[in-house]
Structure 1
Amino acid sequence: MSERKPMARLFVSAIRSGIDEQFTIQLHTNQPLKKFRIEATTEDDKRNMFRSSAAFYTNEHGIINLSKQAPIAGDYEGVDSMGLIWSMRSVEKKEGRFVKHSSDPIKIRLHAYDNDQLVDSQSIIRTFYPVEEVVKESIANESILGTTYSPKQPGKYPAVIVVGGSDGAVHEAAAAMLAAQGYVVLALAYFGREGLPKGIENIPLEYVDHAFQYLESKTNVDHHNLGMIGFSRGAELTLLYALHYPKLKSVIAVAPSAVVFSGVVNFQPIDAPAWTFKGKPLKYFKAKRTLGDTATFFYHWIFRKPYSGLPSIHRNLQDTRQLEDNAIAVENIHSPMMFLSGRDDHVQPAEFFTKRMEQRLSNHPFHELNEYIYYEDAGHFAAFPGSLPNLPQTVGDTNYNMTMIFGGTRRANAKAALESWEHTLKFLDKTLKGHKIVSHNSR
């Protein structure tokens, strides 16, 4: 009797699915208790390659089920089909930041190997919005620059603006995801694009208001229910806008600062204001860089040791007078607020800042609606929209032999990305789609 020919087939529960949907991966073979390796690869917006792999033993039926089996070796631990995705690392760098801001679908390739022999492949597509339900529109006029995503179904929808941080990101993918949930969303650029300032320097708060005026002019926008989401320096901008324009009904600050910082050009702080209002600069915290800071930076660069800027930041924050003088007066914001912070943020101490704001908001009119969410072991690029669910996670970035630490672990950041997406939807639903909200002072 002839020996059975070895067989192996990859099965994925959804070949095409939304980015926030879970899927399962199985490898079916006719070889029980045999080791196979499963690999995943994808590319980010910059065409950088990311990859992960893990080895498994087939069960007595010759099957590997990533949702029920832990790998015996590989890039992640635990029982989690999605672990093969969020654990992907840069192929070209020691650490690489996964950049995904466009709303174009992402393609993930799965490969199964018996030793080094490829036995099967499968490709899956992950989408950020259903094109049959959401309309995308690019905006570039004299007033604003960005991209809107709107539900196709006629009606009046709450509107949200999303702004990014000092990397100049325009969070189109995040905006598209929100639009699919019943919001008109504008992913707003405010620097780093043609016709806009080069860096975060003298950005008028009126620019954001022009964007809201644009949204309010749209026939499908419920101009009584407006919200704003900001990530990193964008969180600072969001809080400042809400402070000066009391029209918002929902404010979400992600990896936030509690103070106004100086401008930034090419990722470097400058001694100039980041923001202006009515033609006047907003005063800012003047951080000081010492010779020790410079020496520490070059030491890490020369010896190729991962570098964190937190020690320098913490030293500057000992200046309690500046900390108080340049604090954002969040207690005067007339809107419910949600703060999302990673406890291991190495770009700025978001947990420290959020706790300071939580104290200032103890008697806030909306204190029962305000939320303060902290993610254990999560870094700067962890929570939505700084990170999106079920994608490769960023803990640092290596350039010119220098690895900058952003914080967190891939597992913790992946958990925060998924949970923060859920928290965002619940908070927006409560504040923009729920019953009429009144402050405690007006009850």
Structure 2
Amino acid sequence: MSSQVRLRLLPSARCLFDQPVQVKVEGLRSSQVVTMRARSMDEKGVVFSSSATYRADGSGKVDLLRDPSLSGSYVGVEPMGLLWSLKADALHKYFFKNNALQPHVVKFSVHEEDREDRMLAEVTNERLLIGNGVSRVPVKGRNFQGVLFTPSGDGPFPAVLDLSTFASEKRASLLSNKGFVVLAVPVYSDHPDNVKQTNLDHFKEAVDFLQQQPKVGSKGVGIISRSKGADIALSLAAFVPGIEAVVWINGCSSIVGVPVYYKNRQILSTLPFDFNKVIRTESGASIIRYGLEDAVTEKNKGSLVPIEQAKGHFLFIASGDDLNCDSKAYMDEMAERLKHHGKENFETVCYPEAGHLLEPPYGPYCPSALHGLIRFPVLWGGEPRAHAAAEVHMWKKMQDFLRTHLKCDAA
């Protein structure tokens, strides 16, 4: 290491996962070309790395907020590029970070140009998922299990149910840092092959549990959902009272997978999937976007969620390059249907170049990974830079929407 070269993360090397940092290097030679690197390991032990080449200015400084990458994992001015471009050596790897108690640890380093063995400086960035004073409590109800995150302070706070396809705490814990009581509940707590039906009553139990929390002040509950969680969120809004706001991200307007039951009777059938329409690619990952049948045909209308009977508000978010499903078409269909019924209780947002896996910002972009339900690798879609920008925009948009529609009475 070079004693005069300094690598700094501003405002601090310790921050929340969804906060940007300014990466600066000082003490280089005038116009020196260096390679910046980032490296992190996920919870499964898979190493992800990125690199970019920069030229110092006349005073020997590099500032990622200002300076363009000349080559590497990305080019151009991308202040957080080293984070979103983190990538595993092996194909089809998703950066697995679900435990809220463990920070996302990233090592940033600066090296002589294209010389990994010649490190000039290094700094560790601890990106926390759970902020000061936020409590995390595992919860087991009669028919649901999840994790409850509660902000510090007396409240009252708005209540949000975070529906993820499989157990994950990342989005819920980060949202709780912003002043929401959030209950993270997976759609599948058992292996999907063992699940023959979805019981909406189980999720209603989770909604009721949330409303009973002492720090909750909103008269209703909000829901955040993506993919499989999104059609369950629509069903709750349509059939269960007390759902005031639903964030639907890259899902379907119909039920996918298994039929939905409520109060001991089937209320929704499933939209069939045609595996003959799966497109195999040379990478070994498939495009499954075209597999689902048309939701609005007569034979499939029993799978369409009747959101027109919902009392709450919707924020529909779709990616134009979602290769998992045609989420933009489903969003447009729902918007048209609500308009047809004289409803104005919705907003739509489309990110034309983003892919399926829209998540809280500044995590590694994932182009392809093993699909948890169909058990083979799929392409998720998205242009990395545009996808990363969409995540930043969406994260704020979502919070603003939930705050608007989950008003709390003053304590």
- Do both share a fold (TM > 0.5)? yes
Q: Distance in 1 between matches of 2:144 and 2:180?
A: 19
Q: Which residue of structure 2 aligns with residue 276 of structure 1? A: 261
Q: After TM superposition, give the deviation of residue 181 of structure 1 in Å.
A: 1.7
Q: Distance in 2 between matches of 1:325 and 1:140?
A: 32
Q: Deviations over 1:228-250 (max 9, x none)?
A: 11111101001101111121111
Q: Which residue of structure 2 aligns with residue 410 of structure 1? A: 384
Instruction: Decide which of 213, 217, 223 is 1:218's aligned counterpart.
Output: 213
Q: Is the 8 A contact 1:6 1:30 kept in 2?
A: no
Q: 1:306 to 1:152 in 2, by over 3 A?
A: closer
Q: Distance in 2 between matches of 1:16 and 1:156?
A: 28
1:378 aligns with 2:354: yes
Q: 1:122 to 1:337 in 2, by over 3 A?
A: same
Q: Which residue of structure 2 aligns with residue 269 of structure 1? A: none
Q: Higher mean Cα deviation, 172-181 or 277-286?
A: 277-286
Q: Which residue of structure 2 aligns with residue 245 of structure 1? A: 240
Q: Which residue of structure 2 aligns with residue 9 of structure 1? A: 6
Q: Distance in 2 between matches of 1:319 and 1:365?
A: 19
Q: Which residue of structure 1 aligns with residue 289 of structure 2? A: 310
Q: Is the 8 A contact 2:320 2:354 kept in 1?
A: yes
Q: Distance in 2 between matches of 1:49 and 1:433?
A: 42
Write out aligned runs for 1:18-167 (5 A). Answer: 18-91=16-89, 93-103=90-100, 104-115=102-113, 116=115, 117-131=118-132, 133-165=133-165
Q: 1:286 to 1:183 in 2, by over 3 A?
A: closer
Q: Distance in 1 between matches of 2:363 and 2:302?
A: 40
Q: Which residue of structure 2 aligns with residue 440 of structure 1? A: none
Q: Is the 8 A contact 2:138 2:148 kept in 1?
A: yes
Q: Which residue of structure 2 aligns with residue 395 of structure 1? A: 367
Q: 1:361 to 1:201 in 2, by over 3 A?
A: same
Q: Distance in 1 between matches of 2:330 and 2:271?
A: 17
Q: Which residue of structure 2 aligns with residue 184 of structure 1? A: 181
Q: Distance in 1 between matches of 2:296 and 2:318?
A: 22
Q: Distance in 2 between matches of 1:228 and 1:262?
A: 20
Q: Deviations over 1:96-123 (max 9, x none)?
A: 2222222131111011111411111110
Secondary structure of the residue that 1:101 maps to in structure 2?
Answer: coil
Q: Which residue of structure 1 aligns with residue 171 of structure 2? A: 174
Q: Is the 8 A contact 1:17 1:126 kept in 2?
A: yes
Structure 1 segments unaligned to the other structure (5+ residues): 264-272, 437-443
Q: 1:353 to 1:209 in 2, by over 3 A?
A: same
Secondary structure of the residue that 1:37 maps to in structure 2?
Answer: strand
Q: Distance in 1 between matches of 2:152 and 2:185?
A: 20
Q: 1:304 to 1:392 in 2, by over 3 A?
A: closer
Q: Is the 8 A contact 2:308 2:338 kept in 1?
A: yes
Q: One-letter code of the match for 1:371? A: E
Q: 1:252 to 1:30 in 2, by over 3 A?
A: closer
Q: One-letter code of the match for 1:418? A: V
Q: After TM superposition, give the deviation of residue 339 of structure 1 in Å.
A: 0.7
Secondary structure of the residue that 1:251 maps to in structure 2?
Answer: strand
1:287 aligns with 2:263: no
Secondary structure of the residue that 2:286 maps to in structure 1?
Answer: coil
Secondary structure of the residue that 1:212 maps to in structure 2?
Answer: helix
Q: Is the 8 A contact 1:134 1:179 kept in 2?
A: yes
Q: After TM superposition, give the deviation of residue 150 of structure 1 in Å.
A: 0.6
Q: Higher mean Cα deviation, 214-223 or 120-129?
A: 214-223
Q: Deviations over 1:193-245 (max 9, x none)?
A: 4xx87655312100011112212222222261311111111010011011111
Q: Is the 8 A contact 1:6 1:31 kept in 2?
A: no
Q: Is the 8 A contact 2:187 2:229 kept in 1?
A: no
Q: 1:398 to 1:55 in 2, by over 3 A?
A: farther
**With structure 2 as the length reference, what TM-score do the two structures score?**
0.90
Q: 1:286 to 1:249 in 2, by over 3 A?
A: closer
Secondary structure of the residue that 2:406 maps to in structure 1?
Answer: helix
1:259 aligns with 2:236: no
Q: After TM superposition, give the deviation of residue 186 of structure 1 in Å.
A: 0.1
Secondary structure of the residue that 1:159 maps to in structure 2?
Answer: strand
Q: One-letter code of the match for 1:390? A: Y
Secondary structure of the residue that 2:243 maps to in structure 1?
Answer: coil
Q: 1:431 to 1:326 in 2, by over 3 A?
A: same
Q: Is the 8 A contact 1:94 1:398 kept in 2?
A: no
Q: Is the 8 A contact 1:344 1:407 kept in 2?
A: yes
Q: After TM superposition, give the deviation of residue 363 of structure 1 in Å.
A: 5.0
Q: 1:429 to 1:224 in 2, by over 3 A?
A: same
Q: One-letter code of the match for 1:153? A: G
Q: One-letter code of the match for 1:389? A: P
Q: Which residue of structure 1 aligns with residue 315 of structure 2? A: 338
Q: Which residue of structure 1 aligns with residue 396 of structure 2? A: 422
Q: Is the 8 A contact 1:389 1:414 kept in 2?
A: yes
Q: Is the 8 A contact 1:191 1:198 kept in 2?
A: no
Q: Deviations over 1:345-399 (max 9, x none)?
A: 11111000000000011155651x52111112111102xxxx1211111121269
Q: Is the 8 A contact 2:254 2:295 kept in 1?
A: no
Q: Which residue of structure 1 aligns with residue 229 of structure 2? A: 234
Q: 1:398 to 1:218 in 2, by over 3 A?
A: closer
Q: One-letter code of the match for 1:427? A: F
Q: After TM superposition, give the deviation of residue 6 of structure 1 in Å.
A: 8.0
Aligned length: 400
